[in-house]
Structure 1
Amino acid sequence: MFGFKKREPATEAQAAPSQPDSAKDAPPYVQNVAEDQLENTGKNTWERIWPAMACGAGLFSDGYVNNVIGSVSTMLSMIYGAAYTDSSAKKNVSAITFAGTVVGQLIFGYTSDKWSRKNSLLVSTIILIVFTALAAGSYGAGGSTQGMFAALTAYRFLAGIGIGGEYPAGSVACAESTGELKAGTRNRWFILFTNVMIDWGFVIGAFVPYLLVVICTSDHLRAAWRISLGLGVVPPMVLLLLRFQLQEPEEYKKESMKNVRIPYLLVIKYYGWRLFVVSAIWFMYDFSTYSFGIYSSTILANIYGASAPLTTTFGWNTVINLFYIPGCMLGSFYSDKVGPRYALASGVFAQAIVGFIMAGLYPTLAKPVNVAAFAIVYGIFLSLGELGPGDNIGLVASKTCATGVRGQYYAIAAATGKIGAFVGTYIFPYIEKAGGEGTAASAQYPFYVSGALCMLSAVLALFCLPDIGQDTITKEDASFRTYLSSQGWNVSQLGLLTGESVQSGGGAAGDAAGDAAGDAAGDAAGDAAVIVKQENEDKP
């Protein structure tokens, strides 16, 4: 299943039909799908779309797991009081997932390039399912409360590793799969299956605790917080079934560096500055977004006061999170219309303006009688963030690098973003505290900081990012090939070996799949197979 099966030489009966001399002389790599043929692989609309969906939609779990903990933390504070609020657990259970996510991103970024996009996704999904379930059932030895907090923290770290795999393996494979979709819609589909999924995760992560508190009431919060976490296993379990049917993306088959030593020095020379810019923008975006998302319940509780019922606080939290949706949905079309670079810059600039306005008007907006106005303005602030960097930063990271190192490039950028989120969740309370406890400034300062970071992001995006078109992936691969050739690197080594490539057809799956790492290899492909049928030779 995961590619560990030992490959045996094909028997004479299994061998492919004899090939012309020209085919026998060709390198044993899958490079047979021309760039202009990715839209013409013989697949129907559903066969083109569902791989992108199955690869990218796992990011729903990122939004859910990271947002639900804000409400869960509020419930734990009410249940355990000072035992929770005065312990390190209050910070750790919220922030530790980001640390695990960084570890997962870096690990699976490497495996997605050097092992398999599909198998990396399967492993990360299983990790996410197992440790999300364990987090919901956290228990301390002998019924110890502190032991339970420690277990919850540990399980959320490990669940974060699974979430981390969704970024380099899932988003990168999603971006590559969109190459088979109609030009003019590719950015839209990528965004719908990645950032829109994260944002729906944020919304559902806010709504589920609200619904459970309504059902369980405040007298049974122990059940409510555990069920809130436990429901996080449902989406990845559904996706796991779909992902078993996935194949490696066509671009990965053609341009993979799986079987060669990656020339990292050349990669850094070519992509170093671009990676720095993408990473910096992602850091600043996540610093603000995840911090505000996690602490939105706290912000609302401060407006209403400690006596407000949880249903009121959680209900308004859900309303605020719903504002993510129009921003990310409109942003998916906006990105195709003006391009990711300008969509990102204009969206984040507008967000900065709203952030400064909100900070200035906070004393008025923070009055309980104006909570609806607060929710709307705060929601617009979040929505613009999704229209700009939320929708486009992952798109930029996945399409501004060559396929052979795309997983690691994306992983570094995404990990930097999660470090920003990790830092933000720790720094956010101190920024509030700097304004003075219980004062308007304590809420104004975070918006001033966020607005300044948004302005800087807009400048970086506008002046330091390249333009990204509908066919940027194939053009980037061609450009990187040219660069490698100019440096004396043998580009004929790019691509998967024919014997290890997988069926990519729609309709028939192929009559027989013979694979070999040695002398002979045969693949009798179905209707849309694009695998070169040739004898394997020794790797050049």
Structure 2
Amino acid sequence: MAATTTYMAIFAAAFGLLSDGYHNNLMTMTNVVFKRLYPSGYTTSVSTRVSNALLVGEIIGQVLLGLICDRIGRKAGLVLTTLLIVVGATLCTAAYGAHEDPYTLFWLMTIGRGITGVGTGGEYPASSVSAIEAIHERSAENRASVYILVTDFPLVIGGPLTASVFLIVLSALGQGRLGAVWSVCFGVGMVFPLAVFAFRMRMLSSKLYSDSAIKRRVPYTLAIRKYWRALLGTCGAWMIFDFIYYPNAIFSATIISSVTANRDLRSVAEWQLLLGIIALPGVFIGILLCNYLGRRNTASFQMILGFSGYVIFGLIIGLAYERLVKIMPLFVIFYGLMASMGNLGPGNMTLVVSAESYPTSIRGTCFGLSAALGKTGAAIGTQVFTPIQDSLGQKWTFIVAAIFGILGMLVTYFFVPDKRGLDLACEDEEFLKYLSENGWDGVVGDRGGEIATSGDPKSSDLL
């Protein structure tokens, strides 16, 4: 890519993932609004269904768009994700129950959130692999640091951004028009993907993709045989992280609303904004650690460090819950520090290792699969969050987070690969050599004319 095109590809990836961060956090305050507008209709099962619709859609989008990015092209994936987000957000914005029937409204919301989820889920492989390849062309030495800035940072800033938009819209419309407030907030979610749509229609493939793409007869069996351990690491660590992170993010405003003396919506949103801001420094500390510690072993160390934060702060909040909730600022600070440690470690590094551990020809597929297992963990965590809270008490949601933090440390130590010192092109060459040695014969390269390997293909290795 030319320099201008490369920088625009990086910028477009950041905006795409900002859209994902925004939509992931939209239900945080919307859950509180719906509980006030429909106290009998917005039951626990309905709340879980609407919240999980995005996560289920994201799982589908991550797998599907990961395959499309590899087998059709990065551009096709990026354009499709934009269209899906816009369609889904439009349906949510326009959702309306006839005669104020909440049943119809919440099913329309479920469908709209599901479609949005396919788009935002697709942004993970589409934007992330495009970003890592573009950054590699321009700044290989600072690849991980820049990559975190344009991937995890937009995802994390979606929390305070959503709270800020909610506060602005609430101030403009007033608490007497809560139906219009949540609708406008969903409509704002269309702005981010539309802002970069024109560029995405004109973007070019990276040199890495042009040189190394495999669009037909993809040797998935051989790929799994070579990268099974890396897949266990990236899928397992991401799944555990999202199991902890997403329920605590989605239901954080509900938790704050239940423990604060002042349950005014504006007050809840302000506490939510503070919680999101406290979680941000973890991203930048993680970037500094990348630069300070050097390339080797940084990923696994940071991930273990981040998971240990869930153990420490999860136990502190859980064991001292009754006393902490009486001191609201201290409760929010500890809650935010727990999230910040997550961002410092697995929040940053699951993205990095999932992008750097695989060759270009299957990067989108493996990244999408890792992210999809992550969102599966998020969906499970969201599903069990309320039952844990109802049967064991609110404090046990934090203690369970601490327990899974220990599990995340173990999975990271034994399975997460650390290849940050490796040139991405070298990984491509090693993979092609491996394919050749195992008898695969196929066409390599986006231009469609480069025969990279020869031998007798095994039908079980092709698709």
Question: Please, what TM-score do these two structures have when normalized by structure 1?
Answer: 0.79
Q: Are the aligned partners of 2:57 and 2:116 in contact in 1 as well (CA < 8 Å)?
A: yes
Deviations 1:369-414 (A, max 9, x none): x111111111111101000000110111111111111111111110
2-structure distance, mates of 1:361, 1:84: 31
Give the corresponding residue for 2:456.
none
**Conservation of the 8 A alpha-carbon contact between 1:335 and 1:392:** no
Which residue of 2 is the match for residue 71 of structure 1? 29
Give the letter for the 1:72 counterpart.
T
- Distance across 1 between alignment mates of 2:412 and 2:423: 17
| Alpha carbons 2:20, 2:120 under 8 Å: kept | yes
Q: CA deviation at 1:345?
A: 1.9
- Residue of structure 2 aligned with 1:84, choices 27, 32, 42: 42
Q: 1:57 to 1:342 in 2, by over 3 A?
A: farther
Give the C-alpha shift of residue 498 in structure 1: 5.6
Distance 2:98 2:394 in 1: 39
Q: Equivalences for 1:333-348 in 2 at 5 Å?
A: 333-338=288-293, 339-348=298-307
Residue 196 of structure 1 deviates from its aligned partner by 0.4
Tell me if structure 1 keeps the 8 A contact 2:15–2:154: yes
Could you tell me which of 145, 162, 170 is aligned with 1:188? 145
Aligned match for 1:274, one of 213, 230, 234: 230
2:119 is matched with which residue? 162
Tell me the amino acid that sits aligned with residue 351 of structure 1: Y
> Given residue 76 of structure 1, which amino acid in structure 2 is its aligned partner?
F
Q: Distance in 2 between matches of 1:78 and 1:291?
A: 20
2:461 match: none
Asked if residue 49 in structure 1 is aligned to residue 4 in structure 2, the reply is no
Q: Which residue of 2 aligns with 1:220?
A: 177
* Cα separation, partners in 2 of 1:47 and 1:470, compared to 1, 3 Å: farther
Unaligned 5+ residue runs, structure 2?
Answer: 451-463
- How far apart are the structure 1 equivalents of 2:278 and 2:214? 41
Contact kept, 8 Å, 2:232 with 2:415, in 1: the verdict is no
Report if the CA contact (8 A) 1:95-1:425 is conserved.
yes
TM-score by length of 2: 0.92
The one-letter amino acid of 2:287's match is S
Distance verdict in 2 for CA 1:245–1:330, change over 3 Å: farther
Q: What's the C-alpha RMSD, in Å, of the aligned pairs?
A: 1.9
Which residue of 425, 439, 448 corresponds with 1:474?
A: 425
Identity %: 29
Conserved 8 A contact 2:31-2:254: no
Q: Does the 8 Å contact 1:183/1:470 carry over to 2?
A: no
Shift of 1:326: 1.0
* Structure 1 stretch displaced more, 473-482 or 263-272: 473-482
Secondary structure of the corresponding residue to residue 162 of structure 2 = helix
Task: Give the counterpart letter for 2:257 in structure 1.
Answer: A
How do residues 245-284 of structure 1 correspond to structure 2 at under 5 angstroms? 245-258=202-215, 260-284=216-240
Q: Is the 8 A contact 1:59 1:167 kept in 2?
A: yes
Aligned mates of 2:85, 2:368 — CA distance in 1: 18
Q: Quick one: which amino acid aligns to residue 446 of structure 1?
A: T
- Residue 445 of structure 2 corresponds to 495
Name the stretch that deviates more: 242-251 or 114-123: 242-251
Q: Distance in 1 between matches of 2:415 and 2:449?
A: 41
Distance 1:333 1:478, change over 3 A: farther
- Report whether the alignment pairs 1:452 with 2:408: no
User: Counting helix residues as a fraction of each chain, which structure ranks higher?
Assistant: 2
Maintained 8 Å contact 1:57/1:194: no
Offset, 1:121 = 0.5
- The CA distance in 2 between the partners of 1:226 and 1:140, in whole Å, is 13
> 2 CA distance for matches of 1:75 and 1:215?
16
What amino acid maps onto 1:297 in structure 2?
A: A
